[in-house]
Every structure is written in structure tokens, then in C-alpha cells.
Amino acid sequence: MPVCARCTGIHIGYLSLPFFFLDVIYLNIWVSLLIFLPTYIDGLIQAFFKYESTNILRFVTGFAAGVGSMSIISIIGYHIGKYLLTLI
């Protein structure tokens, strides 16, 4: 594969962006930030200890990070749009 399992999960998680823009899915900012934690925890454990996670775990944590990223982007976009409408 051209990218690792975690990166593949992140890229597939990016495909969730239209669902956030169309209000099919809504996560508040705290949940969006919280679902990043497994990715960081898994990466830090691998960096500092003699532990190597499986590709399935890497994919799942990467997917969660991708979905969290898109949720945060949609929240920021919503607030920018709301602010721009007040300027008009």
C-alpha cells in the first residue's frame, strides 16, 4: 500500500465531510476533540514503549481522527459562514 493503515483510515475518515455539511451527522467540539485521543495514545505508546499495534487498530484510530478532523472543519466552517452572514 502507498500509505500506512493509520493514514488510510484518516483518508477514509475524510470522506465523512459531506455528512457533516449536510447535517446528517453532528458532533459537538468536545466529542470531536475526544475522538482524536485514541490516535495520539496509540502513537505515543508505540513511540515510547516496545509495543506495536495491529493494522486494524491503526486503521480504526486513524478513521476516528479523520472523522474528528472533518467534524472540527465543519464546525469552524459553520461559524465562519454565520459570521459572514452578520456582515451582510
Is the pLDDT confidence value at 17 over 70?
A: yes
Note the pLDDT of residue 37.
Answer: 93
Please say if the pLDDT value at position 21 is more than 90.
no
Domain residue limits, the chain: 5-87
**Interatomic CA distance for residues 31 and 38, integer angstroms:** 12
- Average pLDDT score over residue span 27-36: 93
Is the predicted pLDDT of residue 15 greater than 70, yes or no? yes
- As to burial, measured by CB atoms within 10 angstroms (0-12 exposed, 13-18 middle, 19+ buried), residue 72 is middle
How far apart, in whole angstroms, are the C-alpha atoms of residue 46 and residue 44?
Answer: 5
Model confidence at 1: pLDDT above 80: no
pLDDT tens, residue by residue, 61-83: 999 999 999 999 999 999 999 99
